[in-house]
């Protein structure tokens, strides 16, 4: 039987809001990369709603600044809401990270948290992978995380600490046909996170990653629009549904907060259990 929810919400994503609030984060400032849409856009709004000022950067500068305007307008009357600034920022360019940090310091006077979220998801048979696909994917998914981490760490070192969260993926621990480029790039993000945590820990800089499974964004539209692909995908998810971006935000918010102050080098799966299948 097909009900309305399963028609409009094919993977039956749980859309209910999450209540967590960590008051110590109010008045702090974050940078989020790849925040023009998808999970980054949701993170931007959820942090602002919880009193965090945020600089969002995206390759698509127009989408980014339109979104920032929309969030600020939506929450202009919300007591305690943070402010959002959107800038054009290509994570493959180290200077773009410096620009985001400078924007946060100029506009908000501080920078406490950094989220390396931007990512791309190419698919190709292994023998068809081109040098361009490899360079472009590693450029965004791996180099982009390293450059963002460097900018954040240089600043955090000068102010006595900070929190960095990198977006890895369940793909980091899985092998799947046509996904060698993406999956290996996310394995690199997971290990880069551990290396950063070990090296930056003595400066009170915590570095953790999140490993989402199938989350309801444009990146997984190809799965959601193909019933056979959706069935196959959900058969590898013990909870038998897609995740909602807000469910990934719950892990991000925890890792950024002081509740996680003794946690570094961790990789939190938010995948309905799929890394085990």
Residues of this chain that interact with ligand NAD (CB under 6 A) are 33-34, 36-40, 58-60, 89-92, 117-121, 140, 167, 169, 212, 214-215, 217-220
Separation between Cα atoms, residue 18 and residue 107, nearest integer Å: 29
Query: What minimum distance in Å lies between the beta carbon of 77 and ligand NAD?
Result: 27
Residues forming beta bridges with residue 210, ordered by sequence position: 167, 268
Residues 28 and 110 sit within 8 Å (Cβ to Cβ): yes
Which residue among 65, 147, 185, 186 is the active-site one? 186
Active site residue 182: yes
Main-chain dihedrals φ then ψ at residue 237, nearest 5 degrees = -120, 105
Residues forming beta bridges with residue 56, ordered by sequence position: 32, 86
Question: In a 3-state reduction of DSSP, which class is residue 81?
Answer: coil
Give the nearer residue to ligand NAD in terms of CB position, either 38 or 272. Answer: 38
End-to-end CA distance of the chain: 27
Give the nearer residue to ligand NAD in terms of CB position, either 89 or 200. Answer: 89
Strand ranges of the sheet holding 29-33, from the earlier edge strand across to the other edge: 84-88, 53-58, 29-33, 113-116, 162-167, 205-212, 267-270
Active site residue 186: yes
Which residue among 65, 169, 257, 274 is the active-site one? 169
Active site residue 169: yes
Tokens of 263: 């946690």
**Residue closest to 208 by CA, chosen among 247, 152, 246:** 152
Residues 271 and 212 sit within 8 Å (Cβ to Cβ): yes
Give the nearer residue to ligand NAD in terms of CB position, either 138 or 204. Answer: 138
Give the nearer residue to ligand NAD in terms of CB position, either 118 or 187. Answer: 118
Question: In a 3-state reduction of DSSP, which class is residue 12?
Answer: coil
Query: What minimum distance in Å lies between the beta carbon of 249 and ligand NAD?
Result: 11
Query: What minimum distance in Å lies between the beta carbon of 147 and ligand NAD?
Result: 10
Give the nearer residue to ligand NAD in terms of CB position, either 93 or 203. Answer: 93
Query: What minimum distance in Å lies between the beta carbon of 211 and ligand NAD?
Result: 7
Query: What minimum distance in Å lies between the beta carbon of 1 and ligand NAD?
Result: 27
Alpha helices in 78-204 (DSSP H): 94-108, 131-138, 144-159, 180-200
Tokens of 106: 């100029």
Mind telling me the catalytic residues? Answer: 169, 182, 186
């Amino acid at each position: 039987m097909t009900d309305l929810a399963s028609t409009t919400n094919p993977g039956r994503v749980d859309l209910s809001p999450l209540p967590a609030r960590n008051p110590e984060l109010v008045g702090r400032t974050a940078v989020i990369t790849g925040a023009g849409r998808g999970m980054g856009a949701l993170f931007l709004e959820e942090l602002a709603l919880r009193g965090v000022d945020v600089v969002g950067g995206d390759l698509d500068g127009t989408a980014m600044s339109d979104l920032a305007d929309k969030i600020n307008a939506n929450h202009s009357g919300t007591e305690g809401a943070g402010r959002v600034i959107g800038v054009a920022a290509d994570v493959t360019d180290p200077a773009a990270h410096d620009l985001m940090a400078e924007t946060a310091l100029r506009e908000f006077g501080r920078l406490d948290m950094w989220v390396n979220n931007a990512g791309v998801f190419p698919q190709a048979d292994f023998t068809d992978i081109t040098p361009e696909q490899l360079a472009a994917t590693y450029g965004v998914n791996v180099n982009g995380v390293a450059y963002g981490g460097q900018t954040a760490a240089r600043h955090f070192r000068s102010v006595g600490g900070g929190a960095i969260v990198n977006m890895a993926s369940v793909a980091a621990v899985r092998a799947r046909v046509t996904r060698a480029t993406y999956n290996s790039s996310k394995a690199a993000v997971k290990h880069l996170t551990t290396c950063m945590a070990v090296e930056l820990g003595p400066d009170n800089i915590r570095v953790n990653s999140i490993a989402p499974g199938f989350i309801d964004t444009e990146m997984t539209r190809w799965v959601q629009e193909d019933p056979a692909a959706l069935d196959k995908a959900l058969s590898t998810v013990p909870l038998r549904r897609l995740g909602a971006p807000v469910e990934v935000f719950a892990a991000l918010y925890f890792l950024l907060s002081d509740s996680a102050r003794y946690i570094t080098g961790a990789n939190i799966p938010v995948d309905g259990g799929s890394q085990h299948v």
